[in-house]
Structure 1
Amino acid sequence: MKSPYIRHTFGDAVATKLRSSRGWLTAGVASSIPWPSFDVCIEYAGDEYFLRGSELDGKASPPCITIACNGDKDIDAAIGKVYRFTSILSWFAGGYVDVSGYLWSSHPVLYGGRTVFSSMGIAGSKSFNCNHMPVIEDENVRKALAFWREGKRLDEIHDSYAFLSFYKVIESQFRDGRGRGKWITDHIDQLTDRAGERVAELRAAGVDVSEHLFDSGRCAVAHASLDGEIVDPDIPADRKRLSADLVVIEELARIYIRDELKVPDSRSQYRTRDRLVPWDELLSEDTLTTLRSGGTPEDVSALNGLIVAIGIWPDGPILGLARMTMHADAVENGVVRIVLLNERRTVLLVFWLDYRSGRIHTNLEDGGLLYGEDKPDENDVRAYATFFFRVFGNGIAELTCGDFEPIDCEVVIPLNMMMTMSAEEAIEARVEQFRKEQIQVESAESAVLEPPKSDN
């Protein structure tokens, strides 16, 4: 399943994009995930989705999603894209984002109302991140995620319909009830915590759990007849029974999406994604196999001389670090130590490419400013300070080589160290310190060069 780099645009550039076209569809959403405080543009699967921030001009603003839409004839296609986007975003972010309503306008207006809200507060100005969210191309997967989103939205609001939606996650993937029933029976023993406790409780009462979920859950919710089993909204025991069973079917639905459909969420994606895959073409297949198996290849010189841009997500390359030359300094047991130098050879950065675990690590201790033929100037100081303090402050460093997707470094967690000021304040303080040092150096040089005064 593809999980490509997803470009996020924040700030004034978002407003520029929204002014670049006439014709927009805006959907108001109910959300249980932290919503961005300001507008952010997400480039996903060939379209731009504008998540409208929860704050506008210092006032509260309804959470919405805006997408380009030419007019009436394109409304169904546009809102269909929003539905699919919210389905995968709900799963990926571990909550729900559900469309409450939508409207079309020639300008990107907002959609509000009592059904439009974010129950989990807001994310910071640039902290919203759904990077590497999988692209859903399979129709069966799309359906399962749609029912999952629907179930999460109804959870704690309407247990009966939430149960039915979660059941349909599984039911929609089978041609007949026998296959569905067998799958549920085969996977019930995987349930733990509250779901596992409910299964044990039912079994202790002599209940066949798979049949119970179908007869007393799915059918009882979906159907009603004089003699058949139903979930009666006026009977407390029916409500309690279904509420107790809800955790079981929800967890089974989660297992099906995760293990059978193999759709990663943000946590599993973080644990399993190989960050170095975008650079696979830089090395031979034999060399990659050796590195990923923890071996030491004879030659990684193909990495030497490549031009790499260093940036901090989501802001892109750092001014002054956009053309760094790479050198493979050492390789051992699947790990390549690379050194990056700027054009004037006044800034040095060091990284570890760990092919065994598919990770790249920033080595702040060995990087710094270099004093050789050329001495660092103020631009070099600012560039390095920007990199150092943004990474030290838990920023995500990105390396971009040519047209390949950026590869992202692990977040640095400083030990026994803490910043007493913001990253921006630290950067400015370092630049100001450099300016003062330069004044002192120039003053000392001037004093040395000035001829001694005559007594006459």
Structure 2
Amino acid sequence: MKTPYIHHLFGDDALAKVADHLGWLTVGVASSIAWPQDDVWLNYDGAEYLLHGARQEGEQRISPSISTPVKQNNRDEALARVYRFTSVLGFYKRGYVDITGQVWGSRMIRYSTSTKFATLLQSGHRTFSCNHMPVIEDDQVRKALAFLREGRRLEHVHGPYSFLSFFKVIESQFKANDRIAWVERNLALLTDEQAVKRINELNGQGVNVNRHLFESGRCAVAHASVGGNIVDPDIPADRQRIAADLNIIAALAIQYIKVDAGVPDESDLYRIRDRVAPWHELMPKAAVANLKVGGRVTEVGDLGKLNEAIVSVRLWPDSPPKQFETMKLVPTECSDGVLKFILLSVRNTILLAFAMDVVNGRMHTLLDESGIRDGSDFGEEDVEDFTRYFHSVVANRTVELKIDGAEPVDCDVIIPINIIPRIPEEAVAQALIEFRQRRVQNQ
């Protein structure tokens, strides 16, 4: 499944990106995910979206909403596309995003309210990311995600209808006999604690769980025939039964989407994505194959275009400082499938060290081996740029490496041990004061 790099712009940069476009659809959304506080522009699967940050502006509160350009006389296509986008976004961020209303205009119109909106989680400033969100090309999988979106939104609003939506995730993918066989196989594969507990309870009562989910769940919710099995809205026991069974059907829906359809969420992708894959194409195939099995490269020439490549280094999502725009990659050592290298600034004053673990598909910053080079003619710019880099990385900022012609490679976030992180800008100010004092003393 495609999980491409997704470019993000924030705040004024996001608004500038869309300033000249005429024709917009804006939808209000109900969301359980951490919503951005800043406006965020991104391009997903060839279409632009602007997520309006949830925040206070004067007397108005800007509510969570999404805008997208609309082609003339093609509103239905745009609305359908936003529904698809919200389905994937909600699933990827392990929650739901669903549309509550819509407005069209030649200019973007924000959703605002004078009362407090219901979004409880916010992702902070310039931290929201849906990078590498899967692109859904199979229409059957699209339907499954749409029903999942409905089910998750209804889960704490209307349990029976939530159950029905989760059931449709599976029912939409199989003919009846195939669905029965799939459910039977997968009941034993579920790992969700509450789902397993409920399955064991039903098994202990001698209940056929597969048939129970269909007859006492799906059919009882969807139908109200005389003398038939129904979920009576006035009977607490019926509501309690559906609430307990909801854990099973929700877990089965997730099982289908993740395993059978192969759609990863953000947590799954964090574990499985090969972060250094974009650089494989820059190296000879034999070198990549050797490193992947824990080997080593012995000659600089074995690295192909990667040797002495020009690399841009930034703290995502900020632009790189000038000195970090064109750094030269110099390999230093290699063993056990891990290539260590340094990046040198143009004036050779700053050295940034990294380890590319090809076996595990990870890139690591090596702060202890990075710094301002001894004996170099460095100045305030060097002190400022390196100090900001060092303390930002310690404070869990993501370092991104970019070589022209390849997708950016993101480094693993550092989890500091026995270090009290400092506010980067305060550390920069202090470092500049000390540098100036030393320079005066040496004159």
Taking the aligned partners of 1:432 and 1:113, their CA distance within structure 2 comes to 47
Instruction: Name the residue aligned to 1:335.
Output: 338
- Which residue does the alignment assign to 1:283? 283
Residue 123 of structure 1: how far off its partner (Å)? 1.4
Task: Provide closer, same or farther for how the CA distance between residues 22 and 43 of structure 1 changes in structure 2, counting only shifts above 3 A.
Answer: same
Report the equivalent of 2:428: 427
Please say if residues 307 and 324 of structure 1, whose CA atoms lie closer than 8 Å, have aligned partners that are also in contact.
Answer: yes
Match runs of 1:53-72 below 5 Å = 53-57=53-57, 60-71=61-72
* Amino acid corresponding to residue 97 of structure 1 in structure 2: V
**Deviation, structure 1 residue 116:** 9.9
Measured against aligned partners, the alpha-carbon deviations of 1:162-216 in whole angstroms (never above 9, x if no partner) come to 0011011111111x11100111011111234111111111111111110111111
In 2, the alpha carbon distance for the partners of 1:118 and 1:429 equals 41
**9-18 vs 391-400, which deviates more?**
9-18
Cα distance, 1:23–1:432 mapped onto 2, change above 3 Å: farther
Is this contact kept in 1: 2:49–2:68, CA < 8 A?
yes
1:397-424 CA-partner distances (Å, limit 9, x unpaired): 010011211100011112111134x112
Unaligned runs of 5+ in 2: none
Q: Residue type matched to 1:323 in 2?
A: T
Decide which moves more: 14-23 or 244-253.
14-23
1:260: which partner in 2?
A: 260
Shift of 1:393: 1.2
Which residue type is aligned with residue 205 of structure 1? Q
Amino acid of the structure 2 residue aligned with 1:179: D
Q: What is the CA deviation profile of residues 301-349 of structure 1, one whole-angstrom value per residue up to 9, with x for unaligned ones?
A: 4232110001111113232111111111111010000111111111111
State the TM-score, normalizing by the size of structure 1: 0.92
Provide TM-score, normalisation by structure 2: 0.95
Structure 2 counterpart of 1:363: 366
Look up the equivalent residue of 1:376 and give its one-letter code: F
- Which moves more between the two structures, 90-99 or 363-372? 363-372
| Cα distance in 2, alignment partners of residues 233 and 402 from structure 1 | 61
Distance 1:118 1:339 in 2: 48
Match of 1:382 in 2: 384
Q: Matches of 2:115 and 2:103 in 1, distance apart?
A: 14
Letter of the structure 1 residue corresponding to residue 432 of structure 2: V
Count residues in correspondence. 438
Partner of 2:84 in structure 1? 84
Q: Which has the larger radius of gyration?
A: 1
Matched, 1:305 2:304: no
- How far 1:138 moved relative to its partner? 1.1
**Distance (whole Å) between structure 1 residues aligned to residue 80 and residue 19 of structure 2:** 23
Letter in 1 for 2:331: A
Deviations 1:118-146 (A, max 9, x none): 43321111111111111111111111111
Q: CA deviation at 1:117?
A: 4.4
**What's the secondary structure of 2:415's corresponding residue?**
coil
What letter is aligned with 1:69?
A: V
> For residue 346 of structure 1, what is the aligned residue in structure 2?
349
Q: How does 1:1-400 map to 2 (within 5 A)?
A: 1-57=1-57, 60-71=61-72, 73-112=73-112, 117-174=117-174, 176-192=175-191, 193-299=193-299, 300-302=302-304, 303-372=306-375, 374-400=376-402
- Percent identity over the alignment? 45
Q: What letter matches 1:14 in structure 2?
A: A
Q: Any conservation in 2 of the 1:27–1:99 contact (CA below 8 Å)?
A: yes
Aligned position for 2:413: 411
Deviation of residue 228 (structure 1)? Answer: 2.3
CA distance in 2, matches of 1:244, 1:301: 57
Could you tell me which amino acid in structure 1 is paired with residue 311 of structure 2? V
**Deviation of residue 375 (structure 1)?**
0.4
Question: CA RMSD for the aligned pairs?
Answer: 1.7
Conserved? CA contact 2:62–2:113, under 8 Å: no
Give, in whole Å, the separation in 1 of the partners of 2:114 and 2:179: 38
Contact 2:190–2:255 (CA under 8 A) maintained in structure 1: no
Which residue identity is paired with 1:41? W
> In the alignment, what sits opposite 1:440?
441
**Structure 1 pair 116–209 and aligned structure 2 pair: CA distance change class (3 A):** farther
DSSP-derived class of the 2:131 partner:
coil
The residue type paired with residue 354 of structure 1 is: D
